[in-house]
Amino acid sequence: MNNEELKQKISAIESDLVFEDKQYLTITVEPEKFKGLALKLRNDKDLSFDYMFNITGVDYGDLLGVCYFITSTQFSHIIELKVKAKSRENAEIETVCDIWKTAEFQEREIYDLLGIKFINHPDLRRIFLEEDWVGYPLRKDYVDEVNIVER
């Protein structure tokens, strides 16, 4: 499927999505619809998005979000799913590591460095920094007086 065909098919599955044509078809979804959409994208026989190959956390300034890059190993189409947390101070997004196992480690990394909590993640704990580390180094407002990290 090309991007236009993907857009039509995904629009039929879920309404109220925002589409952008970039390198990959980019779909922005509200956090409360994210998990359900992810499951439908994996299970739909015409889409079969069975592999999540990358996740990146994003600090938008006012909000935090996550971008998921998923593909179909059967059909070779790729999309980007974007979801923004409702709150910067208590950023939470539903985990998808039960849908795509490859998300488990990467969601932990995003939690550790950006502070986004993944609801129902089976092992959400710091992965790079010590447990007593204060703050989240990849946030734009993070300041480390000792190591002189400024943004």
pLDDT for the residue 97: 96
CATH of the domain at 46: 3.30.460.80
Helix (H, G, I), strand (E, B), or coil: what is residue 13? helix
In a domain, 53, yes or no: yes
Handedness of CA 112, 117, 118, 124 (dihedral sign): positive
- The two structure tokens encoding residue 45: 């026989």
Cβ 81 vs Cβ 106: under 8 Å:
no
In a domain, 127, yes or no: no
pLDDT for the residue 150: 57
Q: Which helix (H) or strand (E) holds 112?
A: helix 103-114
User: How high is the mean pLDDT in each 10-residue block of the chain (151 residues)?
Assistant: 92 93 94 96 97 97 96 96 95 97 96 97 94 90 72 55
Counting the structural domains of the chain, the total is: 1
Residues 6+ apart with CB under 8 A from 50: 42, 71, 72, 73, 74, 100
Q: How far apart are CA 151 and CA 61, in angstroms?
A: 12
Q: How far apart are CA 147 and CA 138, in angstroms?
A: 14
pLDDT for the residue 22: 87
Cβ 102 vs Cβ 71: under 8 Å:
no
pLDDT for the residue 42: 97
In a domain, 136, yes or no: no
Query: Whole-prediction pTM value?
Result: 0.91
Give the bridge partners for 119, in sequence order.
94
In a domain, 124, yes or no: no
pLDDT for the residue 1: 86
Give the bridge partners for 70, in sequence order.
52, 79
Which range marks the domain in which residue 45 is found?
A: 3-94
Residues 6+ apart with CB under 8 A from 140: 59, 61, 151
